[in-house]
Amino acid sequence: MYKKILLAYDGSQTGQKALLDCREIAQWSQAELFLVAVMPSPAAFIGAEGGIYDAATEERDRQQFQSILDEGLARLAECGHAAKGEVLVGDAVDEIAGCAARTGADLIVVGHRHLDGWAARWWRGSVSKALIEHSPCSVLVVITR
């Protein structure tokens, strides 16, 4: 039985479906929910003069990811779940797996959308596939098409 469920949430259609499935599993197992939104590390712009770091852009991105997280937490609260949440910064797979280990999660729930074409799959890769390989616990991949 799952006691701590970590949901990686990005606000997308697949993320919303994963949120709904996670909610149902949590109700069934009386699990504690932890929601994360993972913001990519701030990238420096490399130009002719060298690297440029833009703190304003990073703060705007952080606010965007915080609003995604807040929206997910609000949806869970509407259904009676008092979930905790956090915005993580870095590589999605490393951050999600690390958070699962730190929080003692025994299930990670993540959404997945099939990408059309080999180029899209090659370019973007699959967070859910890589997460299965690096996770310290079980992973539920919620698929939408």
Question: Which residues form the domain of 132?
Answer: 4-43+50-144
Sign, CA dihedral 37-86-98-52, equals: positive
Q: How confident is the model at residue 134 (pLDDT cuts 50, 70, 90)?
A: very high
The beta strands (E) that lie in 26-102 are given as 32-39, 45-47, 50-52, 84-89
Structure tokens at 72: 């997910």
Residues pairing with 47 in the sheet: 50
Question: What was the pLDDT predicted at 123?
Answer: 47
Spatial contact of 76 and 83, defined as CB atoms under 8 Å apart:
yes
Structure tokens at 140: 């539920």
pLDDT at 101: 97
Q: Is the pLDDT of residue 109 over 70?
A: yes
pLDDT at 128: 83
User: Once rounded to an integer, what is the mean pLDDT over residues 109-129?
Assistant: 65
User: What CATH number does the domain containing 97 carry?
Assistant: 3.40.50.620
Domain count, the chain: 1
Residue 94 clears pLDDT 80, i.e. is over it: yes
For residue 6, give the nearest of 81, 100, 137, 122 by alpha carbon: 100
> What are the tens digits of pLDDT across the range 50-87?
556 678 888 998 999 999 999 999 988 888 888 999 99
127 and 110 in contact (C-beta within 8 Å)? yes
Q: Which of 138, 118, 110, 125 is nearest to 36 (CA)?
A: 110
Average pLDDT, the chain: 83
pLDDT band at 6 (very low <50, low <70, confident <90, very high): very high
> Exposure of 89 by Cβ count < 10 A (0-12 exposed, 13-18 middle, 19+ buried)?
middle
Within 10 angstroms of residue 20's Cβ, the number of other Cβ atoms is: 14
